[in-house]
Chain A
Amino acid sequence: MKKTDLLQGTLDLLILKTLALGPMHGFAVAQRIRQISCEVLRVQQGSLYPALHRLEGRGWISAEWGDSENNRRAKYYRLTRAGRKQLGVGTTHWERFASAIGRILEST
């Protein structure tokens, strides 16, 4: 996997996980990721929106225009069934990947 693929894959996973909590618009997704990671992960808008559209193209999330809190129109994303399944797969992969790296780093 190329470096960008790895990063892309990670961002996709984060977005899927965030949307698992419920439908939200792009800004909210970025905010939530920042919050939960305690400000460690700050998603650039330049990567966020391409990622959202890519996930939409793959059919893992679906989008809908709706009214936001202050009655402005916003595009809301939600997880699809295929996306939920992908989330499970991706999480498993990630855990396996992380533990593998951990093992390598521990062995000296």
Chain B
Amino acid sequence: MSSWRRAGAWVRGLFSRERVERELDDELRFHLQKQVEENVRAGMSDEEARRRARLDLGGLDQIKEQVRDARGTRFVEETLQDLRYGLRALRLSPAFTSVAVATLALGLGANAAVFSLINGVVLHPFPYRDAGRLILLHRRSAQADLMPLSLPDFYDWRDQSHSFESMGAVYRWNPILTGGREPEQLFAARVTAEMFPTLGVAPQIGRTFLPEEDRPEADPVVVLSHNFWMRRFGGSADALGQTMVLDGVVHTVIGMMPPRFELWTADVWAPIGQDPNRDQLMARALHAGIYAIGRPHAGVGVDQGRADVAAIADRLKRSFPETNAGVDGGAVLWREQTSSELRPALLILFGAVGLVLLIACANLTSLLLARSATRQREFAVRAAIGAGRLRLLRQILTENLLLAALGGGAGLLLAQAMLGPLTTLFPAESTTAEVRISIDHRVLAFTMVAALVTGALAGMVAGWQITRGGGAGWLREGAGRITPGRSGGRLTRALVTGEVAVSLTLLIGSALLIVSFFRVRESSTGFDVGDVASVSVTIPASRYSQAHQASQFLDRLLERVRSLPGVRSAALTSNVPFGRLWRRSPMTLLDRPEPSTLEEVPEFDFALVSGDFFPTLRIPLIKGRTFSASDGPDSPLVVLVNETARQRFWPGADPIDRMIEIGPPERLRTMNPPPGFEPKRFRIIGVVGDIKTAALEESTGPQLYVALSQAPVLPGRALFGPIHLIVRTDLPAALLVPSLRQEVWALDKDQPVSTGSALSDLIRQSLSQRRMNMILLGVFAGLALVLAAVGLYGLTAYSVTQRRQEMGIRIAMGARSRDVLGLVIGQGARLAIAGVGVGLIVSFGLTRALSSLLFGVTATDPVVFVAVSIFVVAVSLLACYLPARRATRVDPIVVLRCE
């Protein structure tokens, strides 16, 4: 027989075991018959012949056993037998099975949920080919990291580096799409032609850019993202070849990308070479938000890539000292950079949920030990007829793996159900847009492995205890025990103590996060949040030929908005608090000697605002005056500074009438300012209150405000950038937003307006990461406490059952309910207090890990520690009390009679 046929026979032997057994039976029976005949022929009587033959043959079952051994399917057959047996045993004890599966499901489900977060955010945030190797290239300066490049620098980096297989550049582009119902400002990006091949994702339909198309003279083309294609073209394949008018230029659609490809969170992509402002972008001094993504050669790591671009940047410093003196090259693994904000918290959550699983495993072990007491007879009998310890352990292990698999399946269902709320809680803006949180094959594999490890661990520990006694000893131990059996009592108590300790630690951590969250939320913003709505308007360069036409439009808009019903006040600003990040610039204070190094130059966050900005947001004016109508483009330039700036730079003095220049002192400039941005001198006319610009927990730095009417403009653009309209209203802010947009369109129907938001929503969003951490850790800590309480309850209940006779005797001898209660609860209370003690010690050490997430409370806050400890002790006592009550109801006569 060839080996294939042999394997086939082996498998068949496995599956048609009954038939094989029957045949063996027949064969041996035939042999016996023949032997009997032989004996009769030799002269024995019928009876003698039969007896002799039987003796000769020996133990039929033993022969069968040996044949089975020879067949080689023994291990698998036994395992299958264990599985069948285990399933039946689980079905026959539904209470045990449901509690065990529920415990495992809770622990495994929580782990699966957190792992799906980690899988989606940290491990596989990108759908690109081999995304873990992609490198993000950026500029580093003396003051900042992760800064954008200039376009000429990018081309030099690309052409002169040898670590990279390919490299593409990308920057934000916000074109205005016209020709449809409403003008829409798109969130898009411009890329070089090599960017798509670098990322390694093929378009779903059509193609991406050819190198010839990355040039100014080529016909304008555009690639659509999946979402945009669905939204604007209904997902129809006819979109290919159609045209779109972006920024007034007709673009042809040449391809659509597959779902989840959202490079730079863009609706569409167009070639950098076709940017009408490309000439201005080719200034080495201009760092207009360009970043590069590079795919290194096989075997090349990020350190090599970094050294490569750093060397190129140094060469450029020598070649172009006026522009590149401060430009250093930097490189990071793109995947690491996108998860850097969320990673610490996710790792803490992963640790927490691992502890929860540990508790679930401990509970499972205790359950198994308790259940084993009822199965001791069964094991004793099996041991007596020859099952070795290893064989029994294998049986226990198989049953527990079965339980674990069931628990894992239930846990996955639980995790799937949790995905919805989890995605809602998740702060999507803290990471890249391509992140998807789902139960994919990796989460499945992880959960199954965790389930098997948990089941194996619990099974091994319980099994070791169970099979320790030895056969005869068990058979002797009758049911008439007065004191609890020794099988694993100490182990169970240690497990429960540990569970209480772990849940205490988790609860303290969670309480610290909750306190931090509320402290942050209560922090003052520096302005009156109330009902303030905001929408943004970006006036494209092509719209107005002269800057003053744009300001006229804005002034008329303000007038119209102010006359809307319910509007208290309105203002314009370049930056909304808690919106996009405020711009920061070094400033030169002209009333003192220049600093000698760049590090000493003060930096201010600044915004361009209209005069009503401060009354609209109710920011207090502390000294001097705010902007008025007299501060126009031809009037002397004026600025406002905030209180922190005053205290830091003019302590005890009056900053009013002092002069400031925007930009670093001339001597220390690393590059020439772009045309139109030559430094000008501004006079300080007032001091306003501090406000928080991005996060409630930030410590305020120096802030500076320039009047919008006096703002510098880039050539070819009418304004500095997007302008936000902020409006204080009596109505709920969200209701006002549609009216604001209507007002804009009433003035200019082709002016795109963003979807607006209420300031209070922006602030709420800024808390979303903190909120997620607090809620998740709170849920896990609560879960841990519930599991620990269940464990304690189970232990006490079991103990009560075991000690029924003892209780009966005590009651018969005059003990009162109170005494019995005290006795039973006392045991549990001792364990709980020991657990709390251990937990407190562990917490002192562990909560340090949380300190980066805390605000307004220390990692060892005594109030929190004491309060949580009291809570845990109370819950533990309750968990002991419920089963203890049963002990007081024991009828001594009944108990003492039945042995």
Q: Are A72 and B70 interface neighbours, CB within 8 A?
A: no
A26 to B33, CA, bound (A): 12
Which residues does chain B contribute within 8 Å of A26, judged by CB atoms? 27, 30-31
A41 to B62, CA, bound (A): 22
- Is A84 interfacial (CB-CB < 8 Å)? no
A51 to B69, CA, bound (A): 11
Q: Are A45 and B70 interface neighbours, CB within 8 A?
A: no
Q: Are B72 and A74 interface neighbours, CB within 8 A?
A: no
Q: Are A74 and B27 interface neighbours, CB within 8 A?
A: yes
Closest-CB distance, A16 to chain B (whole angstroms) = 15
Q: Are A50 and B58 interface neighbours, CB within 8 A?
A: no
- Tell whether A73 pairs with B26 under 8 Å between CB atoms, given A50-B63, A57-B72: yes
Instruction: Please pick, from B1, B35, B62, the residue contacting A59 in the complex, using a CB distance under 8 A.
Output: B1
Contact with A along B11-38 (1 / 0, CB 8 A): 0000000000001101110110111001
CB closest residue in chain B, given A44: B58
Contact with A along B31-66 (1 / 0, CB 8 A): 101110010000000000000000011110011001
- Is A82 interfacial (CB-CB < 8 Å)? yes
Which residues does chain A contribute within 8 Å of B9, judged by CB atoms? 57
CB neighbors of A among B282-302 (8 A)? none
Q: Are A68 and B30 interface neighbours, CB within 8 A?
A: yes
Q: Are B58 and A46 interface neighbours, CB within 8 A?
A: yes
- Is A27 interfacial (CB-CB < 8 Å)? yes
Q: Are B27 and A50 interface neighbours, CB within 8 A?
A: no
Instruction: Please pick, from A57, A62, A73, the residue contacting B10 in the complex, using a CB distance under 8 A.
Output: A57
Q: Are A57 and B27 interface neighbours, CB within 8 A?
A: no
Which residues does chain B contribute within 8 Å of A49, judged by CB atoms? 24, 27-28, 31, 63, 66-67
Q: Are A27 and B35 interface neighbours, CB within 8 A?
A: yes
B interface residues, tally (CB under 8 Å): 29
Closest-CB distance, B308 to chain A (whole angstroms) = 62
Which residues does chain A contribute within 8 Å of B31, judged by CB atoms? 26-27, 45, 49
CB closest residue in chain A, given B31: A27
Q: Are A75 and B27 interface neighbours, CB within 8 A?
A: yes
Instruction: Please pick, from A50, A58, A68, A80, the residue contacting B66 in the complex, using a CB distance under 8 A.
Output: A50
- Is B6 interfacial (CB-CB < 8 Å)? yes
- Tell whether A50 pairs with B35 under 8 Å between CB atoms, given A57-B9, A59-B1: no
Q: Are A45 and B66 interface neighbours, CB within 8 A?
A: no
- Is A54 interfacial (CB-CB < 8 Å)? yes
Contact with B along A48-87 (1 / 0, CB 8 A): 0111011001110010010010001111000010100000
A54 to B26, CA, bound (A): 18
- Is A25 interfacial (CB-CB < 8 Å)? yes
A62 to B28, CA, bound (A): 18
Closest-CB distance, B792 to chain A (whole angstroms) = 54
- Tell whether A57 pairs with B70 under 8 Å between CB atoms, given A45-B63, A49-B63, A80-B1: yes
- Is B371 interfacial (CB-CB < 8 Å)? no
- Tell whether A73 pairs with B30 under 8 Å between CB atoms, given A27-B35, A46-B62: yes
Closest-CB distance, B779 to chain A (whole angstroms) = 56
CB neighbors of A among B47-102 (8 A)? 56-59, 62-63, 66-67, 69-72
- Tell whether A51 pairs with B27 under 8 Å between CB atoms, given A46-B62, A46-B63: no
Q: Are B70 and A51 interface neighbours, CB within 8 A?
A: yes
Q: Are B27 and A45 interface neighbours, CB within 8 A?
A: no
Which residues does chain B contribute within 8 Å of A31, judged by CB atoms? 38
Which residues does chain B contribute within 8 Å of A65, judged by CB atoms? 23
Closest-CB distance, A99 to chain B (whole angstroms) = 31
Closest-CB distance, A52 to chain B (whole angstroms) = 8
Which residues does chain A contribute within 8 Å of B24, judged by CB atoms? 49
Which residues does chain B contribute within 8 Å of A46, judged by CB atoms? 58-59, 62-63, 66
Which residues does chain B contribute within 8 Å of A27, judged by CB atoms? 30-31, 34-35
Which residues does chain B contribute within 8 Å of A72, judged by CB atoms? 30, 33
Which residues does chain B contribute within 8 Å of A57, judged by CB atoms? 6, 9-10, 70-72
Q: Are B67 and A53 interface neighbours, CB within 8 A?
A: yes
A49 to B59, CA, bound (A): 13
- Tell whether A50 pairs with B30 under 8 Å between CB atoms, given A57-B9, A75-B23: no
A interface residues, tally (CB under 8 Å): 24
Q: Are A45 and B71 interface neighbours, CB within 8 A?
A: no
A103 to B35, CA, bound (A): 40
CB closest residue in chain A, given B2: A59
Q: Are B67 and A50 interface neighbours, CB within 8 A?
A: yes
A64 to B732, CA, bound (A): 90
Contact with A along B369-398 (1 / 0, CB 8 A): 000000000000000000000000000000
Which residues does chain A contribute within 8 Å of B59, judged by CB atoms? 46
Instruction: Please pick, from A58, A59, A62, A74, the residue contacting B30 in the complex, using a CB distance under 8 A.
Output: A74
Which residues does chain A contribute within 8 Å of B66, judged by CB atoms? 46, 49-50
Closest-CB distance, A70 to chain B (whole angstroms) = 8
Which residues does chain B contribute within 8 Å of A25, judged by CB atoms? 27, 30
CB neighbors of A among B394-413 (8 A)? none
- Tell whether A82 pairs with B63 under 8 Å between CB atoms, given A27-B31, A45-B58, A73-B30: no
- Tell whether A45 pairs with B57 under 8 Å between CB atoms, given A72-B33, A74-B30: yes
Closest-CB distance, B605 to chain A (whole angstroms) = 82
A27 to B34, CA, bound (A): 7
A73 to B70, CA, bound (A): 24
Closest-CB distance, A90 to chain B (whole angstroms) = 18
Closest-CB distance, B42 to chain A (whole angstroms) = 13
CB closest residue in chain B, given A62: B1
CB neighbors of A among B669-693 (8 A)? none
Contact with A along B634-667 (1 / 0, CB 8 A): 0000000000000000000000000000000000
CB closest residue in chain B, given A69: B34
Closest-CB distance, B824 to chain A (whole angstroms) = 58
Closest-CB distance, B206 to chain A (whole angstroms) = 59
Closest-CB distance, A98 to chain B (whole angstroms) = 26
Most buried by B among A53, A65, A72: A53
CB closest residue in chain B, given A56: B9
Which residues does chain B contribute within 8 Å of A50, judged by CB atoms? 63, 66-67, 69-70
Most buried by A among B10, B35, B62, B70: B70
A45 to B56, CA, bound (A): 8
A62 to B1, CA, bound (A): 9
A68 to B6, CA, bound (A): 27
Q: Are A54 and B56 interface neighbours, CB within 8 A?
A: no
Which residues does chain B contribute within 8 Å of A58, judged by CB atoms? 6
Which residues does chain A contribute within 8 Å of B67, judged by CB atoms? 49-50, 53
Most buried by B among A27, A58, A62, A75: A27
Instruction: Please pick, from A53, A62, A74, A80, the residue contacting B70 in the complex, using a CB distance under 8 A.
Output: A53
Closest-CB distance, B33 to chain A (whole angstroms) = 7
A45 to B26, CA, bound (A): 14
A27 to B57, CA, bound (A): 11
A49 to B58, CA, bound (A): 12
A51 to B66, CA, bound (A): 9
Q: Are A82 and B1 interface neighbours, CB within 8 A?
A: yes
A73 to B33, CA, bound (A): 12
Contact with B along A18-29 (1 / 0, CB 8 A): 000000011100
CB closest residue in chain B, given A25: B30
Which residues does chain A contribute within 8 Å of B70, judged by CB atoms? 50-51, 53-54, 57
Closest-CB distance, A4 to chain B (whole angstroms) = 12
CB closest residue in chain A, given B26: A73
Which residues does chain A contribute within 8 Å of B1, judged by CB atoms? 59, 62, 80, 82
A103 to B138, CA, bound (A): 85
A44 to B217, CA, bound (A): 96
The 8 closest A-B pairs by CB, nearest first: A59-B1, A54-B70, A50-B70, A27-B34, A50-B66, A27-B31, A75-B27, A53-B70
A–B pairs, 20, beta carbons within 8 Å: A25-B30, A26-B27, A26-B30, A26-B31, A46-B66, A49-B31, A49-B67, A50-B69, A51-B70, A53-B71, A54-B71, A57-B6, A57-B10, A57-B71, A58-B6, A59-B1, A72-B30, A73-B30, A75-B26, A75-B27
Given A45-B57, A46-B59, A49-B63, 14 other A-B contacts at CB below 8 A?
A25-B30, A27-B35, A45-B31, A45-B58, A46-B66, A49-B27, A49-B31, A50-B63, A50-B70, A59-B1, A59-B5, A72-B30, A75-B26, A82-B1
